[in-house]
Amino acid sequence: MHRFVTILGLAALTALGGCSKRTEPIGGDGICFHVARLNDGTLKYNKLTENVPNMETCAANLEAMRIKFLSMGGSTRELMGAYQGTFLFVQKEGIFASQTLEGTRYPALVRTGDGRLAIPGAMPQAPTR
């Protein structure tokens, strides 16, 4: 009986987790968006570039936008974008991707020692002793 109650409880928690709000980005074939969160909590999608071949190129365009804003005196160090149904988050550690705004973020590009972006695992590792 105890096992049945435990399984029933886990099933209820799983069902409740599925009810949580999930904000999915807009899509568009080959369109890279800058996403801004407005004061009322809604998202505004600004078309950054078109004919973008892949997510890495969109991420690079977002990084270039961030650097340009900083060079003009801006203070925003983190920003958000979207590409073909995936949110992109530009942060100091690199660029992370998620299928929803509230979901788990996975590394898409990481920063190298000199601040450039690289695909995770592409940089040679120092030999271990």
pLDDT in tens, 41-100: 899 999 999 999 999 999 999 999 999 988 999 888 899 999 999 999 999 889 999 999
**Amino acid 20: pLDDT:** 66
Give pTM, 2 decimals.
0.75
Round to whole Å and give the CA distance between 81 and 28. 13
pLDDT in tens, 101-124: 999 999 998 888 888 888 887 766
pLDDT in tens, 92-103: 889 999 999 999
Closest CA to 59 of 49, 46, 45, 72: 49
Closest CA to 27 of 79, 86, 81: 86
Q: Which two tokens stand for residue 60?
A: 């690079």
Q: Which two tokens stand for residue 79?
A: 């920003």
**Amino acid 2: pLDDT:** 45
Domain ranges, ordered by start, for the chain: 23-118
